[in-house]
Amino acid sequence: MNTPDVLEEPDVSWTLLGRVDVDGALLEGSAANRLLAGDEAVAATSDGGVLAVGLPGAWPGRVARGQAGAVEEVPGLMPSPGLPWVFTTDGEGLRAVPLSGGAAVEAAAQVGLGEAPTCCGWWEHTAWSGAASAPEAGLLRAVSPPRGGWSLVELLRPGTADPAWRVELTEEPARIAASALSPDGARALVALSDGAGKASLVALDAADGHALWRVSPPGEVHGWRARAGALGVDATRGVLLLDAPSGPALWVFSLEDGRALRQVDLGALTPPPNPRIGLLGDEVWLFEYLPPTASGMSERAEGCVYAAWGLDDGARTRRAERRLGQVFAEGLSDRWKAELASCQVRRILPLGEALGIWTQPAPLSLALYRGPLP
Environment class of residue 215 by beta-carbon count within 10 Å: exposed (0-12), middle (13-18) or buried (19+)? middle
The residues pairing with 278 across neighbouring beta strands, listed in sequence order, are 285
Alpha carbon distance 193, 241 (integer Å) = 13
Q: Which among 51, 31, 32, 30 is positioned nearest to 42, based on CA atoms? A: 51
First to last CA, the chain: 23
HSE-CB for 249 with a 13 A CA cutoff: 20
In this structure, are residues 260 and 249 in contact, taking their beta carbons and an 8 Å threshold?
no
Question: Would the pTM of this model clear 0.85, i.e. be above it?
Answer: yes
pLDDT in tens, 162-205: 999 999 998 888 889 999 999 999 999 999 988 788 889 999 99
Q: Determine the pLDDT at residue 115.
A: 65
Q: Determine the pLDDT at residue 295.
A: 62
Alpha carbon distance 301, 292 (integer Å) = 5
Residues in the chain: 374
319 three-state secondary structure: strand
Confidence tier at 47 by pLDDT (50, 70, 90):
confident
Residues 6 or more apart whose CB falls under 8 angstroms from that of 308 comprise: 283, 284, 285, 286, 316, 317, 318, 319, 331, 373
Q: Which among 140, 143, 156 is positioned nearest to 112, based on CA atoms? A: 143
Q: Determine the pLDDT at residue 242.
A: 92
Cβ atoms within 10 Å of 148's Cβ, excluding its own: 17
Confidence tier at 9 by pLDDT (50, 70, 90):
very low
In this structure, are residues 33 and 52 in contact, taking their beta carbons and an 8 Å threshold?
no
Q: H or E element: which one contains 176?
A: strand 175-181
Alpha carbon distance 277, 64 (integer Å) = 26
Average pLDDT score over residue span 3-28: 70
HSE-CB for 115 with a 13 A CA cutoff: 0
Q: Examine the pLDDT at 29 and tell me if it is beyond 70.
A: no
pLDDT in tens, 233-252: 999 999 999 988 888 999 99
pLDDT in tens, 270-296: 887 788 999 999 999 999 888 777 666
pLDDT in tens, 138-170: 999 999 888 767 899 999 999 888 999 999 998
Q: Residue type for 73, please? A: E
